[in-house]
Amino acid sequence: MQLRDDAKTYGAISIVNHWVLAIGIIGLLISGLVIAELLSGPARAPWVWWHKAFGFVAIFWIIWMEAAHRLQKVRPQPDPNYTAFELTARKISHHFLVIGTLALAISGSFMSVFRGREIDVFGWFAVPPVGEIPWIADSANFVHTWGGYLLIAAVLAHAGAALKHHFVSRDNTLARMLGRRQHA
Ligand code: HEM
Ligand code: HEM
């Protein structure tokens, strides 16, 4: 398989970037909901620790993914049979997924450091607390909660669109993100 993208299909770098991000973000959305809605007391601690570490690393994953996109001169173009609505929805939803992920990772980090808590990143290093500034921590919490629900809706719509293209339109949208050869 080719490493780089071309005008018709994704290369290995973009495919690995996408699926690592996808699994990571789905894990963060589920663990976030588990922490906020299901757990209380000491049972929260290990979930919060992993959630914070992976969530913080997501900032760098998004930067790396965007850099990898921008360094490639040619990007895969959508299937020629896309309607005008699908072309616009594709553009808006991809931007929303990237900006939403960044907003969640940054708001989560602000919640911690402005509530006087450090972020221990897998024991490799720790982001120190800034101090207790409640209005920043509370605003970040608001963004994190509602941004989390919006991102869940966006991911469901995005995955739903991928399945629609695969099973209803029967085009290459999903196949090329799975590294399958183009048949046309
Ligand atoms: C099971 C879940 C998922 C499926 C089936 C899926 C499928 C796809 C497919 C088929 C594409 C290519 C679309 C095209 O070429 O027009 C794509 C692109 C993309 N996906 Fe996903 N995805 C999933 C989860 C996620 C998640 C959780 C995120 C992050 C929040 C994400 C972020 C993106 C982004 C940013 C792109 C655009 C990549 C680019 O511009 O090259 N995806 N996804
Ligand atoms: C892309 C990265 C991230 C995603 C997708 C994500 C997602 C979520 C979601 C969906 C929730 C549940 C919100 C609710 O129902 O109230 C949540 C809660 C939480 N997140 Fe994140 N998060 C991310 C990054 C972070 C980071 C970097 C931190 C801290 C360093 C963090 C700390 C927390 C904490 C402490 C909660 C529990 C909040 C509460 O109990 O109200 N998250 N997260």
Whether 34 is in a domain gets the answer yes
Backbone dihedral region for residue 179 (phi beyond 0: left; psi -120 to 50: alpha; all else: beta): left
Whether 5 is in a domain gets the answer no
Q: What are phi and psi of 170, to 5 degrees?
A: 55, 45
More confident residue, 40 or 51: 51
| CA-CA-CA-CA torsion sign (100, 102, 107, 108) | positive
pLDDT tens across 120-157, in order? 999 999 999 999 999 999 999 999 999 999 999 999 99
Across 2-31, average pLDDT: 95
Domain total of the chain: 1
| CATH number assigned to the domain comprising residue 50 | 1.20.950.20
Q: How far does residue 46's CA lie from ligand 1's centre (Å)? A: 29
H helix runs in the chain, sequence order: 12-33, 44-71, 84-113, 134-164, 173-177
Work out which ligand 1 atom sits closest to the CA atom of 163. Answer: 5
DSSP codes joined into one string, 137-168: HHHHHHHHHHHHHHHHHHHHHHHHHHHHIIII
pLDDT tens across 45-97, in order? 999 999 999 999 999 999 999 999 888 889 999 999 999 999 999 999 999 99
Q: In the chain, what percentage of residues exceed pLDDT 70? A: 98
Mean per-residue pLDDT of the chain:
95
Supply the pTM of this predicted model: 0.94
Across 13-40, average pLDDT: 96
Whether 162 is in a domain gets the answer yes
Whether 4 is in a domain gets the answer no
| CB proximity list for 104: less than 8 A, separation 6 or greater | 28, 55, 58, 143, 144, 147, 148, 151
pLDDT score at 85? 96
Whether 173 is in a domain gets the answer yes
Whether 3 is in a domain gets the answer no
List residues near ligand 1 (CB under 6 A): 14, 18, 21-22, 25-26, 76, 78, 90, 94, 97-98, 101, 155, 158-159, 162, 173-174, 177
Whether 1 is in a domain gets the answer no
pLDDT score at 73? 82
R_g (Cα) of the chain, nearest Å? 19
pLDDT band at 183 (very low <50, low <70, confident <90, very high): low
Whether 152 is in a domain gets the answer yes
Domain residue limits at 126: 12-177
Q: In the chain, what percentage of residues exceed pLDDT 90? A: 91
